[in-house]
Structure 1
Amino acid sequence: MPSRRPYQNQQHPHIGPWTEPLHRPLTYLKRAGKAGSYPLRGIWFFLCNREFWPLFMSRILPLSLISFLVYFVLFTFTFLPQYAFLAIFHGWGAWVNAVVLVLGEGLVIIQGLFEGFFVDECRVDVFDYLLAIVRVTDINQAALIKLGHKDLIAPQRILFLDAPNPVRMLGKPTTDAVYTPWSIIQIVELIVFLPLNFVPVVGTPAFIIITGTRLGKLAHYRWFQLKGYSKVEQKKALRDRAWEYVWFGTVAMILELVPVLSLFFLLTTTAGAAQWTAEIEDEVRTSDGNVQNGQNGYRGQIGHNEQEQYDDHHPDAPPPPYTDDLV
């Protein structure tokens, strides 16, 4: 039975007096880099696993065409007026803000009309498939390690363990299966923060990071479902990894702003979220196993000491072995 305990970062490396001032910022930088790499790992996973492609192709082609049409209309009719207005405040750099502004407007339309209704079911399949049969690249050993977590998926959906390939292993969900809940609040937030692109220099990065932070917090919504977390447990898990979610979501947001390929990157980011989940699960289970082994060893030592005390003090205990100290 997998642990329900929310994962916490528990890295406490030995630090000396010379490295202590840099330890905290370097740790935050390392955590940000690792979290931000998962959306990119999802792309690599897709390219390396052909059996994974059918999950994408069934939805990607028609939705990519729709995405192309949306951005074509927006860039044709709205880019130049917005660029002209932004040039008053930004000068030569106005085109960057104008591009991001139009991409953000397109993202609002795509998310509001298509993403929640046509892609979420596919994202659930991608996440569940990877969590059950996931391969994570270990850079240190340059090897692919299989990290299966079928025990998380099995209570929530039918699994055909004798299927010819892992994709066909997935049956229909036995409970409500949602990767990210469709929310009008999320759409409104995108609209509210779009004007940040009018702010020179810092406006566009602020828009991406702020909206990406919310996107990152939704990356593990399906995992929380599978674990059966209560709202309190979900909040604790989100709080424990708040810094990681900022940078996972920021990278994911940048990928989603890519025209036409945004829906493709939406699914590869889901693959990256599943890889992240698998690593967290393994870390938690390894930690729990070490604690259990330590407790068993402690109990064994106590039992051994109690037996020694029994042998020393019990009236029916045999005498100690004979030794001749004079020889």
Structure 2
Amino acid sequence: MADKIKDTAKQEAVEMRRLAEEGVRSRAYLYPIQGIYYLASHRDLRKPLLSRLTGTLSLGVGVTTFMFLFTYVPQLAILFFTSGPLAAFSTALLVLSESSTLTTVLSKALLIEDSLIDTFDGTLLTKGHTELVAKERKVKSGGAGDAVARLGKLMGKPFAKFTPTAIIQYLMYLPLNFIPVVGTIAFVVLQGRRAGPAAQNRYFQLKGMSQTQREKHVEERKAAYTSFGVTAVLLEMIPVAGIFFTFTNACGAALWAAKMEQESGTAPKLREQAGKAD
């Protein structure tokens, strides 16, 4: 039994190393960073964020206050055994991170879903993918360079509905943070593995992918999606600024989708050119 456990652990370690290497080579982890610069440099894409800023900040203040009132002392008691004199500081950072993550999850479910769709679709329009966006919503002509102003009414239902799954998974993984270093890394990776594909749910809808097609698409790019998700989760865990990074992550996911569209359109052309050459 001991040998089997060791072999399984070795196999898991090898698989994790392979996925990490593939994730680095994919460079998908850079798209959330690119999303920050892209959103900052396109004033029109900031409109959905600004329209929901007051509501999300109010939610954030409420969640943070609740978390400090009811979770700070219990977590301080636990971290005292692992962090010693630094427990008070470590617990405060942990509660702030938890509050930021919960605010993001709740705001996505209750407040900003449509705004994130507008950010995603608007980014695709700026990259020239009007036909793709027009599959699921009306796109106005003109707009004087304002991509968000060109977005019309959604023709289909939103790509995601509120479910408690994300919150349940978050609460299940949360105790990992009490394990120094290794536990926190495991927590972020597990969250990132879910968040990566979720960031492109809108793209899957625009492409008309079935559940089976989506699962195959994600499985073929599992390392890339995980690396994207890890970066996105780390950004959204930053206290106060987390809600801003939720929108930049949507922008980054759209930039990645635009790159996929470009590559999928280029491959057939290359095959056609090769055929003519033969």
Shorter-normalised TM range? 0.7 to 0.9
Q: Does 1:84 align with 2:65?
A: no
1:168 paired residue number: 149
Residue 294 of structure 1: how far off its partner (Å): 1.9
Q: For the residues of structure 1 that align with 2:95 and 2:106, how far apart are their CA atoms? A: 17
Paired amino acid for 1:267: F
Q: For the residues of structure 2 that align with 1:200 and 1:36, how far apart are their CA atoms? A: 24
State the TM-score, normalizing by the size of structure 1: 0.73
Q: For the residues of structure 1 that align with 2:108 and 2:199, how far apart are their CA atoms? A: 15
Change (3 A) 1:249 1:169: same
Equivalent residue in structure 1 for 2:49, among 56, 65, 70: 56
1:230 paired residue number: 210
Q: For the residues of structure 1 that align with 2:188 and 2:157, how far apart are their CA atoms? A: 31
Residue 100 of structure 1: how far off its partner (Å): 5.8
Paired amino acid for 2:153: K
Equivalent residue in structure 1 for 2:95, among 79, 97, 102: 102
2:267 paired residue number: 287
- After superposition, where does 1:194-213 map in structure 2 within 5 Å? 194-213=174-193
Residues 112-135 of structure 1, C-alpha deviation per residue, up to 9 Å, x if partnerless? 64321211100111111111213x
Residues 168-227 of structure 1, C-alpha deviation per residue, up to 9 Å, x if partnerless? 11101111232x443222211101111111223311111111112101121111111111
Change (3 A) 1:126 1:39: same
Q: For the residues of structure 2 that align with 1:252 and 1:218, how far apart are their CA atoms? A: 11
- After superposition, where does 1:218-297 map in structure 2 within 5 Å? 218-297=198-277
2:60 paired residue number: 67
Q: Does 1:217 align with 2:197?
A: yes
State the TM-score, normalizing by the size of structure 2: 0.84
Do the aligned residues in 2 keep the contact of 1:104 with 1:190 (CA within 8 Å)? no
1:42 paired residue number: 35
Do the aligned residues in 2 keep the contact of 1:43 with 1:269 (CA within 8 Å)? yes
Q: For the residues of structure 2 that align with 1:259 and 1:113, how far apart are their CA atoms? A: 15
Identify which range, 111-120 or 91-100, moves more after superposition: 91-100
Q: For the residues of structure 1 that align with 2:246 and 2:185, how far apart are their CA atoms? A: 20
Residue 150 of structure 1: how far off its partner (Å): 0.9
1:310 paired residue number: none
Paired amino acid for 2:243: L
1:119 paired residue number: 112
Q: For the residues of structure 2 that align with 1:275 and 1:112, how far apart are their CA atoms? A: 22
Q: Secondary structure at the match of 1:171?
A: strand
Q: Secondary structure at the match of 1:158?
A: strand
The alignment-based identity, stated in percent, is 32
Q: Secondary structure at the match of 1:61?
A: helix
Paired amino acid for 2:25: R
Do the aligned residues in 1 keep the contact of 2:123 with 2:251 (CA within 8 Å)? yes
Q: For the residues of structure 1 that align with 2:189 and 2:166, how far apart are their CA atoms? A: 14
Q: For the residues of structure 2 that align with 1:95 and 1:205, how far apart are their CA atoms? A: 21
Residue 67 of structure 1: how far off its partner (Å): 0.7
Q: For the residues of structure 1 that align with 2:180 and 2:143, how far apart are their CA atoms? A: 55
Q: Secondary structure at the match of 1:229?
A: coil
Bigger helix share: 2
Do the aligned residues in 2 keep the contact of 1:36 with 1:250 (CA within 8 Å)? yes
2:12 paired residue number: none
2:22 paired residue number: 28
Q: For the residues of structure 2 that align with 1:91 and 1:28, how far apart are their CA atoms? A: 38
Task: Tell me the matched-pair count.
Answer: 260
Which runs of 5 or more residues in structure 1 are unaligned? Answer: 1-23, 135-147, 299-327
Residue 27 of structure 1: how far off its partner (Å): 5.7
1:144 paired residue number: none
Residue 111 of structure 1: how far off its partner (Å): 4.9
Do the aligned residues in 1 keep the contact of 2:45 with 2:123 (CA within 8 Å)? no
Paired amino acid for 1:125: D
Residue 152 of structure 1: how far off its partner (Å): 0.6
Do the aligned residues in 2 keep the contact of 1:116 with 1:182 (CA within 8 Å)? yes
Which runs of 5 or more residues in structure 2 are unaligned? Answer: 1-17
Paired amino acid for 1:86: L
2:130 paired residue number: 150
Residue 66 of structure 1: how far off its partner (Å): 2.1
Change (3 A) 1:26 1:155: closer
